[in-house]
Amino acid sequence: MTSHSILSPHGEGYCRHCRFVVGLDADGLMDYHTRGSVTEYGSRTIPEKCKGSGAKPAKVTPYAASKNRFLMRLPMAVCPVCGGRAAKTRGGRLASHGPYCAGSGRIVQ
């Protein structure tokens, strides 16, 4: 017996693939949800379906697990202005890396 939640009237469960809490459908399986990378489709990007969609949720939600932390490792690039290393976002822009560097936000290859 599951309780009602904000995510779904059928309860919620922990997805072990994307490490998020997701709403459940009437059969107790996780609802369709998207996480991670996107697929290029014509002129728009479509988020990829998580492997946990339609699967049984994990029995225990590891709130304190180190893998459950929200970590994101972005590729690094060299700033053309200051020569320092900075994270490169998915859009190809440099993340903010210096308090006054003009290279922050520039598109790099």
Domain ranges of the chain: 12-68, 72-109
Q: At residue 108, does pLDDT exceed 70?
A: yes
Q: Taking Cα atoms as reference points, which of 47, 45, 109 lies closest to residue 78? A: 109
Q: What is the pLDDT of residue 42?
A: 58
The answer to whether the beta carbons of residues 36 and 72 sit under 8 Å apart is no
CB within 8 Å of 18: residues ≥ 6 apart: 33, 35, 36, 50, 52
pLDDT at 106: 84
Q: What is the pTM of this model?
A: 0.48
Q: What is the pLDDT of residues 23-77, one digit of tens each?
A: 899 999 999 888 765 555 555 666 778 888 999 998 876 665 566 555 567 788 8
Tokens of 10: 């059928």
